[in-house]
Structure 1
């Protein structure tokens, strides 16, 4: 999730009009007295008009203008006064209508028309009017201020810088508006750098702290340059200067807090970039609680709070981003701010698993910003979040063809390939990117890229190529032609020396370790490596450097005592023995646990072998009293021993003799028969319902 900087420029455009009427209308002699009387009345009305304007009572001034125009409808001065009064009352549409009706034919008062268009958010049309005024050589200082402000709002920073630079060249520091123009000039420079533009040497960022506006805008420039420590210091100064100056001018605490809000938000943004997330959130929340915050500042706060919390409190984040992207803020936010908010909305959909919504929003953003690499990463993240890494890699490879020099896209591919443990594929991707930027040594020989390339060579078993890459990079860094780095970073140099040591190139390794030791004589790791290298080629030097190693701290503990210490055993439980020999541990006997038996258990009685079977499956099971219907079931006419013809057993009509009792079988010869489970009883058939009377169905 992406944070964004607060707005910086605040240009003040002043409009002044001479409200005094000097003309006297002269007519024929017979009308002279009447005209003189009318002229005196108009002159008196102009005096009253001037008084209301000086008192700031513009509604009353507008009524006086209408009275004058009632008597003299074509009076240019009265029309001009009415136009200015409507502007003061912020009734810009009425002012534009009056201009079209009264001044369009003569093409007069172009500045006033351009200002009304500017305040009505018709910026391109307003700039056209300014260009028309410049063509007619009708440009004054106020018009140039308005031109600069229009270019700033339209993000034409180069043209804006040119106007402010020319204004500053014509001014002196003693003039009251000099520092206001300088503050705006610094604001434009900061905005240009924030939008990834470049500045000429004549427009270099300075650290002017004459006023809090200057300090604030200078801090914005330092943020764009990545100098966060300087930016923090300037913002702290701006905060102090702002409070002190406003207290001196007797502003209320509410006014002071409102003016400080933008400085505090920018300071929180710096903390967030520095990784001090908790401090940043605390400052953001202090501003969010205030009710008198500018809507643009509130939008920045809401966006940055969401970005600082990342994927936490997603529903609260959705509310904040919705307020930050309100329609009424569309004309007040800059394009880079609106882009960041829209990207965060897409990311929020991703975190909330709304993958289709995330994809649609990102595709719309790509139509506006086709060169933004982060949007391609969001699209790939949609597939990765659904465990479709292969599709994500395929999509990123397609994007990489459109942007062959995009480090972000290629690194995302490498990361996904490493997750899949495809080291060879990751190496091929990195080599492809490096081939694309081969003509840019300052990019090709970045230490981080070289370190990753060497690591991948090592993982794929290409140690010799890793060594060659390190040697080539070291030569480039030492020559100083590839980048601003005159010597390789110590981490890279250590990695190079370790590789050489491993490859038994002891002399080359010793050279690298010597360079490290010269840079930091207290680096014990470098000294140890140097000793290892010299031990193979120059043992005398190895011994010399060995004396430089810090001594090992000796201990007063007895080694024999240490050997007897058993890890994990408390000291008081150790058996003391006068002998120095090893203490034999006694073997522990495994104790058998006695079984838990019920109180009524009789050991002389043999347990029932069928005790584990359900009751109805035991051989001794006898069902309780059956119903008469159940007694009638079974095979009919079966022969039963001792029963009569009626199967009642009351008489032995058949004359059958009762068999003799069988002799008992010894217990040893008895065999247990397998117990078969009884067949499940069928459910009784459902009774048929009798047909009800009077119903044929």
Structure 2
């Protein structure tokens, strides 16, 4: 009897994994599939879908490519549709933008055209995406127009999915009125796909935000989308002063998304609203201290957290402490925006001009060593010369301006400023 049970378990691995997949036990489904040393075609197909559902898009893409290469049957078009969906997810959710100019195969069905449109949107090729999505809608309508067995509601349901993305493409181009018209048309149809309603309503109100946690929605979303919705829910709780609900959700988000600083920033904002900026500063300082060890938190970039801390410190009038944080940002300290901010803060403090001059000197040297674009270097050097002239140091200004002229010899503005600097200490040379 035991032998028969083991045989049945071996034979029914696909059925078990598929049931787990349909029951949203996605990780369990993957674990079940991985127990098989030599999976057959059915298991490989299912594994590719499971990997996609788990957000492991690169692994899913690699598996689909192997399947297309090794198998040729009546399901080939479906595989091409799935692989186009993976490409779209990679560009939209994994940040793999601009790695290729085309999908690498001809798209024909409306599903493939839709996925290509989403892929183009993820690559910021919005105008192209709009054209492809319009084509997808036309192909979809043409497919069902002469089929009396397909009810109009089902056709509109398929088209609504395409039209929501089309509206998003229009929205990205600043065509807000056209986008809203399509969004409202989709809502009036009362689509059975709750994800479509959630995509529009998420921005409308706290009441409509409930659509994003409606039963059945989780089935329609990938991990990236679920994460974004949870972040927005936390923001809504915060802005509506639901402190306890906000804290509870943020605790869950910080546990589940250790690679993201968004829960930390929302938590700091919530503490600031509830208890004041000083408590928010304490929270951020503690968070930075606990996550500064690269061996413990290698995936977290604390730059935005530190900039948030600077903003709070400035609001409390703690200029010196804010400067210390900005000075400790590493390479970010020498970006034009941070240099400009620090110079302004130094000027507001007694004796700060010495620090400001030293900072600009270090920033110019850093950009030289890192071969930054000429306009950035030129701009920093120009501001440095202006600062030197303003603080009665024409020799330093002249030296900087001479350096600018070496790579911009025809810049009349720089030449005029150099003559002015010389006139303050060497009229003969001027």
| Alignment TM-score, normalising by the size of structure 2 | 0.77
Alignment of 1:254-653 (within 5 A): 257-269=156-168, 281-303=180-202, 305-306=203-204, 317-386=205-274, 388-404=276-292, 405-432=301-328, 434=329, 438=330, 441=331, 443=332, 445-460=334-349, 461-480=351-370, 485=373, 488=376, 491-502=379-390, 503-504=393-394, 505-511=396-402, 514=405, 527-528=412-413, 530-537=415-422
SS of the residue corresponding to residue 11 of structure 2 reads coil
Q: Aligned pair 1:108/2:2, yes or no?
A: no
Say which of 132, 136, 142 aligns to 1:242: 136
> Aligned-pair RMSD on alpha carbons?
3.8
Say which of 101, 104, 121 aligns to 1:206: 101
Larger Rg: 1
In structure 2, the residue matched to 1:188 is: 86
| Alignment TM-score, normalising by the size of structure 1 | 0.50
Question: Kindly tell me: are residues 386 and 105 of structure 1, through their superposed partners in 2, closer, same or farther at Cα, counting changes over 3 Å?
Answer: closer
Task: Provide structure 2 residue ranges, at least 5 long, that are not aligned to the other structure.
Answer: 147-151, 293-300, 425-430
Q: CA separation in 2, counterparts of 1:171 and 1:335? A: 29
Contact 1:417/1:425 (8 A) holds in 2: yes
Q: Is the helix fraction higher in 1 or 2?
A: 2
Contact 2:194/2:214 (8 A) holds in 1: no
Superposition deviation, residue 242 in structure 1: 0.8
Q: How many residues get paired?
A: 402
Q: CA separation in 1, counterparts of 2:7 and 2:368? A: 69
Say which of 102, 123, 130 aligns to 2:33: 130
SS of the residue corresponding to residue 227 of structure 2 reads helix
Q: CA separation in 2, counterparts of 1:130 and 1:530? A: 72
Contact 1:400/1:410 (8 A) holds in 2: yes
In structure 1, the residue matched to 2:297 is: none
Question: Kindly tell me: are residues 459 and 255 of structure 1, through their superposed partners in 2, closer, same or farther at Cα, counting changes over 3 Å?
Answer: farther
Q: CA separation in 1, counterparts of 2:75 and 2:359? A: 58
Contact 2:133/2:162 (8 A) holds in 1: yes
Task: Provide structure 1 residue ranges, at least 5 long, that are not aligned to the other structure.
Answer: 1-100, 307-316, 540-697
Q: CA offsets per residue over residues 329-380 of structure 1, 9 Å max, x none?
A: 2343223322222222222222222333323332232232244312122222
Contact 2:17/2:29 (8 A) holds in 1: yes
Q: CA separation in 2, counterparts of 1:450 and 1:339? A: 34
In structure 2, the residue matched to 1:159 is: 59
Q: CA separation in 2, counterparts of 1:514 and 1:469? A: 22
Question: Kindly tell me: are residues 370 and 470 of structure 1, through their superposed partners in 2, closer, same or farther at Cα, counting changes over 3 Å?
Answer: same
Q: CA separation in 1, counterparts of 2:114 and 2:361? A: 46
Q: CA separation in 2, counterparts of 1:260 and 1:491? A: 51
